[in-house]
Structure 1
């Protein structure tokens, strides 16, 4: 690689700072959810997606689009959560291969118990330390990057 292909110091700080921040936030939030509520951050992602939908159940492909995971990861996560009684699989009458995913009473109780503490931790670890004007900039940056990724996926047929 020639020097022009390498990241500048500013680019490296921004890129690796983003990656490190994301990993550290994930680790801290996950550890606290497990300690306080006996659910993982992955459990939380699925449970909160279902709860926020306001519907009794969602198709697997809808959950997958919301959490933005690979199909196999979500399939394994749903299996683990179903075996723990947090989710129920419901056959889809319209599509014999399709499945609906629903919160069980235990899953609903788990997400309702986890939400206040999780939101408080997100606020303390992230929202309270980032100035409001930077939050707007970060939101704009995130939207730009995600839009570019969607365009790239459209161009490549992914």
Structure 2
């Protein structure tokens, strides 16, 4: 019976440790996102969500994508995406027009001004990631982190 109690106690401690690990990961990720968002707003006048839209457009052919495509690839709700695209359009960073292939679809295109803002934003994004994460890890820890993230995201 004592063996079962020890196993149960070990399992409980492991669950508590797992919870603390998860909480730390969530807090750290949230802190990094907030720091990036704050820097982007201050220096580029865009949010982290706006950055995600601009960066996603740049990865597509001809720097453009439909709203449906953006919805599937950016990390934001549909209403959040619509607000972000509207802000970016008003700022002259993207153009929004009906698709020639499907008039029901809206095509979002990164403008030259949007490309310039994105270049600056990428530098800021990378600087924050380096300062808040990479500079605090050894090369071995970076490799371990990459392996861990890869394990989590594999389907």
RMSD of aligned residue pairs (Cα, Å) = 2.4
2:81 paired residue number: 74
Gaps of 5+ in 1: 149-158
Q: Does 2:120 correspond to 1:113?
A: yes
Q: Is the 8 A contact 2:65 2:109 kept in 1?
A: yes
> TM-score, normalised to structure 1's length?
0.78
Rounded Cα–Cα distance in structure 2 between residues aligned with 1:104 and 1:85: 7
| Partner-residue secondary structure (3-state), 2:130 | helix
1:129 paired residue number: 136
Q: Is the 8 A contact 2:49 2:76 kept in 1?
A: no
Rounded Cα–Cα distance in structure 2 between residues aligned with 1:97 and 1:86: 22
- 36, 57, 64: which is aligned to 1:29? 36
| Partner-residue secondary structure (3-state), 1:97 | coil
- 21, 33, 56: which is aligned to 1:49? 56
1:95 paired residue number: 102
Q: Is the 8 A contact 2:94 2:108 kept in 1?
A: yes
| Partner-residue secondary structure (3-state), 1:89 | strand
Rounded Cα–Cα distance in structure 2 between residues aligned with 1:71 and 1:140: 31
Q: Please say which structure displays the higher CA radius of gyration.
A: 2
1:156 paired residue number: none
> TM-score, normalised to structure 2's length?
0.80
Q: Does 2:146 correspond to 1:139?
A: yes
1:20 is displaced (CA, Å) by 0.3
How many matched pairs?
A: 146
Rounded Cα–Cα distance in structure 2 between residues aligned with 1:146 and 1:61: 23
1:7 is displaced (CA, Å) by 7.3
Gaps of 5+ in 2: 1-8
| Partner-residue secondary structure (3-state), 2:133 | helix
